[in-house]
Amino acid sequence: MKKIIATFASLSIVLVPFTVWFAISEYLRISYLLIAIVFFLDIIYSYFNKNNRLIVRQANTDLQRFYMKGFLLVVVISFVINFFVNFQPKLLSNFFATVAIIFLLYYYYSSLLEKYLSFSVCIKYMAISCVLLMSVIILDSLLVNFAHIKIHDMFCFGYKGNADYFERYIWTSTAAPTEEPGASAQFLCALFPFALYYFKGKRLWIIIGYVLCLAFLFSTTGIMILAICSVLYVLLYSRRRIKILFSTFLAFAVVFTTSLYATNDDFKLYVDQLGIVSKVTFSGKSESDSDRSEGMTLALKDAFDAPVIGKGPGYGKAIRETGYLSTFLGFMGCYGITGGCLFILFWITFYMKIFKLRGMMQKVFLFSFVSITISAFIGDTLHMFLLWFLLPIINKAFNEQIEGNEIFLFS
């Protein structure tokens, strides 16, 4: 039984980016289904093996659990009060969905990895997940652009997300196994450093695959995550000479790109379709950044209107079809400044642990977690495994270092 559970747990990590392919509904994605199946198998195993506790706590998690319990308390209070004074059709479903997601993807998932998977195995399967995702993006992109074959719907059984293929200037970008190209880019950026770390002898190919995927996806989010993480890496880890060279290169790149944008119509059209400037500044010049800007602004307005308990679970989706479009700001709109800040403090505890890691492990986890944080700020990722999959692995990395295990000797 232990081997079966460990196999399903491993598959849940490998299939982290498969949020639409094989999904039955928005809340029944393949990784969730695997974890839910494991949960019931674990119940049976725990019943017959009294030494196996169903839920175990990871070591050194008291502070993060304190903030999470505080956040859940605010969620419950917000639900109860708003049920009577501000009832809306999304209140019940979003309350139960939020509690279920946190239980399954934070409490039980962390217990699952703690009991059945070692830290090195988690690293291995995240690296494999990245290579699998890159393979799907590249294959799907080549098929749709050069053979006009669309494979996306072949793997969509119930939930199809909100997009499949985007027609660009001279290229069709694919959503691959996720809802849209931007989501694929977010998963790619979160998993990439683990593939780079694990497949040491194939680093050049991993980098080439990563760059190709970002180009094929045509994703502003992916490009901006790469840019931000690159700047952070140089500022935090590079020598003074490298910082000067990087700053010089960056200045030259900005001048060159600006000049090319002003003089080359094809390049201008490509950049305009990416919408980097408008999306980063939320200028409202495109439907995407306009919608996001409106959602985030509304989340802040609702947070200040009800700073203690918020407007209630699901309020953003009840008044706007696309909701608040930000995980952190959305929590403030739904659960007030109190609930939003508690979750942000919970999130910060993982940064505190990452900065205590040594050597390459710190760089790998920081790149990945910054990617996830950016994705959570500019999108509603509560119901996506992207928000949760790395959290218990950060805890395992921190605890492995304390125990002095060999994984850190070659980092």
Label residue 326 by pLDDT band (50, 70, 90). Answer: very high
**Angular region, 314: left φ>0, alpha ψ -120 to 50, beta rest:** left
Is 35 among the domain residues?
yes
Query: What is the tally of structural domains in the chain?
Result: 1
pLDDT beyond 60 at 208: yes
Q: Decide which of 283 and 96 is more confident.
A: 96
Whole-angstrom CA distances from 229 to 42, 193, 223, 363 are: 38, 11, 10, 10
Is 147 among the domain residues?
yes
Residue closest to 60 by CA, chosen among 110, 95, 10, 13: 110
- Side chain identity at residue 381, one-letter code: T
Q: Using an 8 Å Cβ cutoff, are 376 and 187 in contact?
A: no
Is 252 among the domain residues?
no
- 172: helix, coil or strand? strand
Query: Using CA atoms in the order 333, 337, 341, 343, what is the torsion angle rounded to 10 degrees?
Result: -40
Distance between CA atoms of residues 148 and 254, nearest Å: 36
Q: 381 lies in which domain range?
A: 2-237+275-408
- pLDDT one-digit tens code per residue, 365-401: 999 999 999 999 988 999 899 999 999 999 999 999 8
Distance between CA atoms of residues 133 and 127, nearest Å: 10
Q: Using an 8 Å Cβ cutoff, are 109 and 390 in contact?
A: no
Retrieve residue 175's tokens: 């959503």
Q: Output the pLDDT for position 158.
A: 78
- Side chain identity at residue 72, one-letter code: L
Label residue 411 by pLDDT band (50, 70, 90). Answer: very low
Tokens 């994984």 -> residue: 407
Label residue 38 by pLDDT band (50, 70, 90). Answer: very high
pLDDT beyond 60 at 283: no
pLDDT beyond 60 at 310: yes
CA 110 to chain centre: 16
Q: Decide which of 242 and 218 is more confident.
A: 218
Cα Rg of the chain (Å, integer): 22
Distance between CA atoms of residues 313 and 339, nearest Å: 11
pLDDT beyond 90 at 121: yes
Is 250 among the domain residues?
no
Pairing between β-strand 172-174 and β-strand 165-167 as defined by DSSP bridges: antiparallel
Distance between CA atoms of residues 34 and 299, nearest Å: 33
Residue 256 backbone dihedrals phi, psi, to 5 degrees: -65, -45
Is 253 among the domain residues?
no
Q: Output the pLDDT for position 129.
A: 97
Whole-prediction pTM value? 0.88
**Mean pLDDT, the chain, whole residue set:** 87
Is 258 among the domain residues?
no
Q: Output the pLDDT for position 389.
A: 96
Is 114 among the domain residues?
yes
Label residue 409 by pLDDT band (50, 70, 90). Answer: very low
Calculate ∠ Cα 239-244-246, nearest 5°: 90
Distance between CA atoms of residues 357 and 351, nearest Å: 10
pLDDT beyond 70 at 272: no
Q: Output the pLDDT for position 152.
A: 84
pLDDT beyond 80 at 10: yes
Retrieve residue 158's tokens: 């119930």
Is 397 among the domain residues?
yes
Q: Using an 8 Å Cβ cutoff, are 169 and 273 in contact?
A: yes
- pLDDT one-digit tens code per residue, 68-116: 999 999 999 999 999 999 899 999 999 999 999 999 999 999 999 999 9
HSE-up (13 A, CA, CB side) for residue 121 = 14
Q: Output the pLDDT for position 410.
A: 43
Label residue 168 by pLDDT band (50, 70, 90). Answer: confident
Q: Output the pLDDT for position 2.
A: 86
- pLDDT one-digit tens code per residue, 314-325: 999 988 888 898
* 402-408 own/partner pairs: CB under 8 Å, 24+ apart: 402/60, 405/119, 407/119, 407/120, 407/123, 407/361, 408/358, 408/359, 408/361
Q: Output the pLDDT for position 407.
A: 52
Residue closest to 385 by CA, chosen among 11, 5, 69: 11
Distance between CA atoms of residues 317 and 320, nearest Å: 5
% of the chain residues with pLDDT over 90: 57
